[in-house]
Amino acid sequence: MMILLCISSISFSQKNENKRERIDPEKMAELHVKKMILELDLTEKQQKEIKPFLIEQAKKKALKREEMKSRKEKKEKPTADERFEMKNEMLDHQIEMKNKFKKTLTSEQFEKWEKSKKQGHHKRKKHAKNKKDRKED
């Protein structure tokens, strides 16, 4: 019995150690801008236009994440209307981001950004599938 107790406490502590601390939204936006500088060769002017926008988006995303986390802790499921509203907000965000980048980036940079975004989407999808498969094992 004592061995089982020790094993369960060790596995529980390991699960908690695996949780990563979230990076501050402003720092996350800073990293995002730097990645874009490297990938798209942004000018100083473009950086100054995009950075505040990315900071704002990162803060909104952090708030949404916290909201979802508190709902999950309370075991609250969103209603159909709430899911619709969340999806609608997400699409509005994507449209806003696309329009902002379309205005700020050159056509070559914009095409490269969209291609990179699609590749990232496929990577995240594959990662999520792999993660789900591991959970089922």
For 59-95, how does the pLDDT look when each residue is reduced to its tens digit (9 = 90+)? 888 888 888 888 888 888 888 998 899 899 989 989 9
Asked whether residue 119 is assigned to any structural domain, the reply reads no
Res 97 pLDDT > 80: yes
pTM of the model: 0.67
Q: Give how many domains the chain has, as a whole number.
A: 1
Asked whether residue 4 is assigned to any structural domain, the reply reads no
Asked whether residue 1 is assigned to any structural domain, the reply reads no
The average pLDDT across 30-52 equals 91
Asked whether residue 70 is assigned to any structural domain, the reply reads yes
Domain holding 55, by residue range, is: 23-102
* H-assigned helices in 74-136: 80-104, 107-136
Asked whether residue 64 is assigned to any structural domain, the reply reads yes
Residue 41's pLDDT is what? 92
Residue 35 CA to residue 112 CA, distance in Å, equals 13
Asked whether residue 79 is assigned to any structural domain, the reply reads yes
Asked whether residue 33 is assigned to any structural domain, the reply reads yes
Residue 112's pLDDT is what? 92
Q: How many residues are there in the chain?
A: 137
Res 2 pLDDT > 70: no
Residue 78 CA to residue 64 CA, distance in Å, equals 13
Residue 117's pLDDT is what? 84
Residue 19 CA to residue 95 CA, distance in Å, equals 32
Asked whether residue 129 is assigned to any structural domain, the reply reads no
The DSSP symbol for 37 reads H
